[in-house]
Amino acid sequence: MLCTTPCHSARFSAFRLSALGTALTLTAALGASLPVMAEPQMHSTFINDALLPPAEPWQGASLNLMRAADDSYATPFEQSGGIESPDYEATMAWLDKLIKRSKYLSKVSLGKSPQGRDIWMIVASKEGADSPKSLAANSRPTVLVQAGIHSGEIDGKDAGMMLLRDIEKGGKHELLERANLLFVPIFSVDAHERASEYNRVNQRGPVKMGWRTTANNLNLNRDYAKADAKEMQLMLAAINAWNPSLYIDVHVTDGIDYQYDITFGYNQKQGLSPALFSWLDGSFRPEVESALTSAGHIPGQLVFAMDNTDITKGMSQWNASPRYSNGYGDARHLPTILIENHSLKPFKQRVLGTYVMLEQSLKTVGDNATALKAAIMADSFRYPTEITLTWKEEQQASWDFKGIGYTVEQSPVSGANVVRWNGQPVTYEKLPVFGNTIPDIKVSRPEAYYILPQWQEVIAKLENHGVRFERMSETATVKVGEYRFSNVEFAAKDYEGRQRVKADATLSQTELELPAGTVKVSTEQALGDLAILLLEPQSPDSLLQWGLFNPIFTRTEYMEDYAVEPMAAALLEKDPELKKAFDEALKDPAFAADPETRLRWFYEKSPYYDSEYLRYPVFRSN
């Protein structure tokens, strides 16, 4: 499941909705037409079927992709009739069997998980490449497909296993004439093994599903910017080493019911990669949607309801920040697709739709390799003079939305109003759409940033992301902009293992002597925009807001009142300007009535005050 804000787990749960009015049927309210089709059915395949809304019967052409259960190369998914997904050991055993007999496939470990499991990546190329160097030698674009970042949402693993089998044994090796494939079958490997039929109650299969967060209880799709999880550090290293041309992150959503079974999206054109948006929207989406439709699926844009109890309020588009895969891809100019299969569609249907999408992605990337490479280069070296750090919402072009009818009624259990989806297809015409596409906080692009050498964790994060920097070999005096903070506000509780912090930032110009070992980060590099989002303090996914600089908000030295008093008296006598400022401050009744505040006022203006307190140790060179 993808949640963009802390409230999304509630917004996207059909069983935790609160209604705005009394029971109503939106079919009647909108005058929408219902096509004639088979009655929705209650399933009895999965343990949670009785708790879920009815599902529409489905017989797509992509069913022909499945092999018989007794086929020697049937995947565990196919052997189960499309209802089960294998565990880690069985997954890798099946893949090892395929790779052993392959001239196209090799297997590499990205590294060990916190519990000691290898995170495997399958490399598929015409030449059977097994290293970044040998893969790059063929000069074809590379598609990186990642399954199981949330390991209960595992559709991509089973789809990718089928596709690899068909490349090797099913006559589809021609796909590798145009593009290479990197396939990570299970990203969150430890969570994958925390499997149960009682995980993800809102999802229609597989029989057993993995856990959402890692063994350290971190959500990997909140970790791209801060990169705390070992799994994420390994993935970022792989992206840097293997240099994919397209990154596909496969999820399964939950929440409102609708007709679409395969939805996917990417950041908007107002983001940091406008050329990539044009390619994704103009070349990639039409071809993939056409392939899915021909195979009997209903593709759609990544969809979030503004209000799950009232579809007429419209849909929300999403310009993700760099903590998420698609926002991170936008920041580093790596075209990134976020697939969100619909959790209320049966597992078999979702897996087969994912197969079709992955196959067509290889075709589209191969056929449009030159245009894709040009778009990546255009965005990577665009160097905009201003960078938007935060966005405001505005209304977009309206959508015709392929939804499902529902009523809202009072629950005898909770006493609240809840949604009851009825399984009947409904078209909601010209729904309003909203998206965070108005620039809010913007900053000018500095020539470079300077990071003091003691902030080793921050420097290591930049290195893990692949941001280039140099270390000053000797002390140097430079003119820089420095931030000072006020109105510091810490989050009330930890989030993703970090205590987040916000503060008002004031930028001033100064001349500093920077010590040897200071790190200089130029913004004129392919990852310059990413560096800005990580280092600008007002960026929501800056390393500052993620808490990596929290020690600067701690005061460690003080001055006793008995020492401040004589110092203050001497300063007032010697400095007329200071006395004038003090007299002005006394006009504030609260200040005048607070002895501690008055004494601190003098302390802060004295040479004894801690000059490093509330001072950001990252400086801008303009």
Q: 509-533 b/e with 16+ CB inside 10 Å = b?
A: eeeeebeeebbbbbbebbbbbbbbb
How far apart CA 189 and CA 412 sit, in angstroms, is 41
Q: State the greatest distance between any 2 C-alpha atoms of the chain, in Å, as a whole number.
A: 96
| Catalytic residue from among 78, 84, 289, 340 | 340
How far apart CA 336 and CA 131 sit, in angstroms, is 22
Specify the amino acid at residue 558. Y
Sheet with 417-439, strands from edge to edge, namely 304-305, 315-316, 417-439, 391-410
Cα first-last separation, the chain: 42
How far apart CA 272 and CA 346 sit, in angstroms, is 36
How far apart CA 220 and CA 223 sit, in angstroms, is 5
How far apart CA 10 and CA 19 sit, in angstroms, is 13
Give the chain's radius of gyration (CA, Å): 28
Residue count of the chain, please give it.
622
Q: Give the pairing of strands 105-112 and 519-522.
A: unpaired
How far apart CA 134 and CA 131 sit, in angstroms, is 5
Token pair listed for 505: 């930032």
How far apart CA 466 and CA 166 sit, in angstroms, is 34
Token pair listed for 177: 């004439």
Backbone angles phi, psi at 59, to 5 degrees: -140, 75
Place of tokens 């089709």: 37
How far apart CA 400 and CA 301 sit, in angstroms, is 11
359 in catalytic set:
no
How far apart CA 114 and CA 348 sit, in angstroms, is 31
Q: Which residues are designated catalytic?
A: 340
